[in-house]
Amino acid sequence: MISAVLPEASLRELGRTAGSPDTLALLVRDQHTRRLLLLRAVLDAVEAADARVCPRPVRARLREDWALLEAADRSGGSAGAGAWPGAGLRASAALDRLLYPLVGPWARNCLRLLGGGAEEGDGGDDASGEGEGCVRLLERDLAHFSALAVAAAVRARVPFAVRLVARDGVLVIPSLGVLRTADAGEVPVDVALRGERVTFRQPGAAAADTSVRLNADGTTVRSDTAAWTPAYALPGLVPGASAVPLDDADPYRVAGPQARQQDPSGPAHVDRAAWAGWLRSWAGTAALLRLGGGHRVAEAVAVLRCVVPLATPDVLTAQTRSTGSCSGTRREAFGAVLSSFPPNPVAFAATLVHEIQHAKLAALSEMVVLHHAGPEERFFAPWRPGPRRPYEALLHGVYSHLALSDFFQRCALARAMPPLQREFAWDRHARHREQVRAALPAITEADHLTPAGRLLVDMLTEEGARMDADPPPAKVRENARTYVDRLHRQWRLKNAAPSG
């Protein structure tokens, strides 16, 4: 038996960078279970915390917020919620909010502040200080849970009246929108839902109340005032699929200062003009995913829960400055893809293929131990000239680039692909295939693999061999080899240890 928690057939599917609906559902369910356990850990840590760490009023407010979530859950059709996550919550507005990808970084940050042993740099604000400063940061973070409860109640149409606190003059109601207050800093805001209207009142401020009317689906809200900006969302990738939030507001969407070096770029805000650009690229993404294999559409629908816009990075060379692109995922935010603006559907589709593989492999790695390699051993990664990468990162790179190679090869072989796009697809396929070919020996020859990891790598090798049955044009493959060889030479010059 390879694993007690994952059928061998599923591991073989994932080794081909694919995954049947049952296999994808297994990964998603496991991640959801882990999220609920993480939330349970936060709530337990709050209850157990000393009053000097978590003051009693903060603890009492968290209980009130949970009660509002329970009310939203019952309204959403649950037979009755239990006292903790996972003890009765069903498919409801409350559960939907708790399983939103960016709740993961929030929960990790709260645990770190509560001394719960979360990994350093898991996101949120810099909490390296102690004493009163840490208490203040924890109070700010736990206040975000109030906004989550409000979002669930609005979606479930559960009447309420609560006080929230805007952060830096901005109050984010996850999945609904953003209120910009009249004053900067931390501003109290009274929020109430009556019927189809949400009212925001800033006590003591000269600003008039902001009244927001719910749309029919309850997921977005409209207002005639500039103080309120509705949340942006991309339409469902396929008919019947849920809309995908384009989340430029959640305070936990990128890592905090402690982990900033891990971010591919800083966060970006989206205005209506930028949103129109995202919509244009998104409109053709599903069709391209289908050309690259029907399973690519299925895995995007199963895994993707939100897209976080990133700033477009500058690319500096000795002669020029130009714009590039970047994307990423965060292990604690399963279902979120972070990306700079994709200028066309090809770029958007490729980004989804690439980043969803990272999400799949990260989820698989939490279910099954694939290797025992530590971070100290480093390898050449043929997709970057920078420092050597640890085994885990190299495995992720091989996995995602093999999927990209498969995606672009299928596009190149598709009859519907226009000639110029076919040439581009062959070029991308050949480059990614050569990158994988250069990195695979370090993956396969290592003695760190477990039986499950060995099967996964064997399937990756077989998948690469399958692609070689339909090779790209000879000149394209030659160019790809030259590119990878040049990258390797650059890497050796910059990173190889000095002799002697």
For the segment 449-470, the average pLDDT, to the nearest whole number, is: 97
CB 191 within 8 A of CB 150: yes
pLDDT value, residue 122 = 40
What are the φ/ψ torsions at residue 387 (nearest 5 degrees)? -60, 160
pLDDT for res 366: 97
Query: Is residue 317 pLDDT above 60, yes or no?
Result: no
**Among the listed ranges 144-148, 252-256, 272-276, 435-439, which one has the minimum average pLDDT value?**
252-256
pLDDT at position 207 is 75
Q: Mean pLDDT across the stretch 112-127?
A: 54
Closest by Cα among 417, 429, 410, 416 to 472: 429
pLDDT score at 136: 87
Average pLDDT of the residues in 87-93: 58
306-310 and 336-340 beta bridge pairing: parallel
The number of folded domains in the chain is 1
- Write the pLDDT tens digit of every residue in 20-47: 999 999 999 999 999 999 999 999 999 9
Please state, in angstroms and rounded to a whole number, the distance separating the CA atoms of residues 62 and 133.
Answer: 20
**Does a structural domain hold residue 12?**
no
Burial class of residue 185 (count of CB atoms within 10 Å of its CB; 0-12, 13-18, 19+): exposed
What would the pLDDT profile of 242-280 be if each residue is shown by its tens digit? Answer: 999 999 999 999 875 444 445 567 899 999 999 999 999
d(CA 11, CA 364): 9
CA pair distance 173, 169, nearest whole angstrom: 13
Spatial separation of the C-alpha atoms in residues 472 and 481, rounded to whole Å: 12
The stretch 100-123 carries a mean pLDDT of 77
127 domain-assigned: no
Q: What is the mean pLDDT of the chain?
A: 88
Question: Is 80 exceeded by the pLDDT of residue 336?
Answer: yes
Residue 126 has pLDDT above 50, yes or no: no
pTM: 0.90
Please check whether residue 50 lies inside any domain of the structure.
no
Is 402 contained in some domain? Answer: yes
Q: How confident is the model at residue 321 (pLDDT cuts 50, 70, 90)?
A: low
Question: What's the confidence (pLDDT) of residue 393?
Answer: 93
Specify if 329 maps to a domain: yes
The residue to which tokens 């903790």 are assigned: 84
Residue 143 lies in a domain: no
227-245 pLDDT tens trace: 999 999 999 999 999 999 9
Report the distance separating Cα 61 and Cα 150, nearest Å.
13
Domain around 292: 257-495
Note whether residue 354 is domain-resident.
yes
Q: Is 177 helix (H, G, I), strand (E, B) or coil?
A: strand
Q: Which of 43-57, 158-172, 261-275, 284-298 has the lowest mean pLDDT?
A: 261-275
Q: Does residue 213 lie in a domain region?
A: no
Query: Residue 79: what pLDDT?
Result: 32
Q: For position 314, what pLDDT does the model report?
A: 76
Q: Which of 184-193, 432-441, 491-500 has the lowest mean pLDDT?
A: 491-500
Asked if the model's pLDDT at residue 19 lies above 80, the reply is yes
Q: What is the mean pLDDT of residues 425-437?
A: 98
- Residue 374 confidence (pLDDT) above 80: yes
121-125, 151-155, 204-208, 384-388 — which is least confidently predicted? 121-125
Residue 93 banded pLDDT, cuts 50, 70, 90: confident
